[in-house]
Structure 1
Amino acid sequence: AQLSFSSRFDLAYNAAHGIALTALRLCGYRSDRRYLVFQSLIHTAGTDKVQVRLFALCHERRNLAEYEGYMDEDEALLQGLISSTQHLLERVKGLKSQT
């Protein structure tokens, strides 16, 4: 909570991406496209479409910040990202135990 919004968002987004990438690799796939890693979550981790859409929205916001220098502070979005990332982590842990 003591970090800036942009730092907290960046950390949460990168955690979500890393976990989603892990799910993809556990299923035997690879991708160098960040967006595809999130889109494939329905198939790789059994994530629902609402969470995939949230990750996609965060990806769009991340790109705006990264390439355009614009970051709109949205605490509700950040909390949703953190919650969805924690849920995704639990699903991927389940995938890991199955392998």
Structure 2
Amino acid sequence: MTLENLFKIKQLKQEPPDQKEFDGFVRSARVKLQDAKLVGLSEESQFSLVYIAAHTLALAALRWHGYRSENRYTVFQCLPHTVGLENAKWRVLDKCHHQRNLAEYEGHLEITPQLMAEFVAVTEELLGLVSNMEPLP
């Protein structure tokens, strides 16, 4: 579905983009991603920081296009449309979103070192894609 189609079915709301908000999202995501690499963090803390960074970047990209969503999954789902993220990489974020929900709502986190490494790599790529978006008018 395109962003316009998601808007038509009320999965997205239109809202004018704001450069200051966008820049704040990117800055915050960059800090979270850096903090996730600190030595001595638990797996849960590292995962949470990367998840917050990924979501914040996905939201920044969506806001750049003039939309907002109250649904975390939808924000991730829009990444192929907002920054051209490949489906295979989107699926990593989808899996991590599912793992985040299990941790938050059922109290356990099951993430392999390989998935964590992929999660960090996709989030770092997302940071690059979002950071390189043109300044807003």
Unmatched segments (≥5 aa) in structure 2? 1-38
2:80 matched to 1:42?
Answer: yes
Alpha-carbon distance, 1:20 to partner: 0.4
| Alignment match of 1:83 (pick from 102, 110, 121) | 121
User: Given the two structures, how large is their TM-score scaled by the length of structure 2?
Assistant: 0.69
Greater percentage in helix: 1
CA RMSD in angstroms comes to 1.0
2:102 matched to 1:72?
Answer: no
- SS of the counterpart of 2:60? helix
Number of residue pairs the alignment of both structures matches: 98
Rounded to whole Å, the distance in 2 between the matches of 1:88 and 1:64 is 23
- State which drifts further: 14-23 or 72-81: 72-81
Q: Which residue does 1:20 correspond to in 2? A: 58
Poorly superposed stretches of 4+, deviation over 2 Å: none
Name which structure has the greater RCO, CA cutoff 8 Å, separation 6+. Answer: 1
Unmatched segments (≥5 aa) in structure 1? none
Greater gyration radius: 2
- SS of the counterpart of 1:72? coil
User: Given the two structures, how large is their TM-score scaled by the length of structure 1?
Assistant: 0.94
Alpha-carbon distance, 1:73 to partner: 3.6
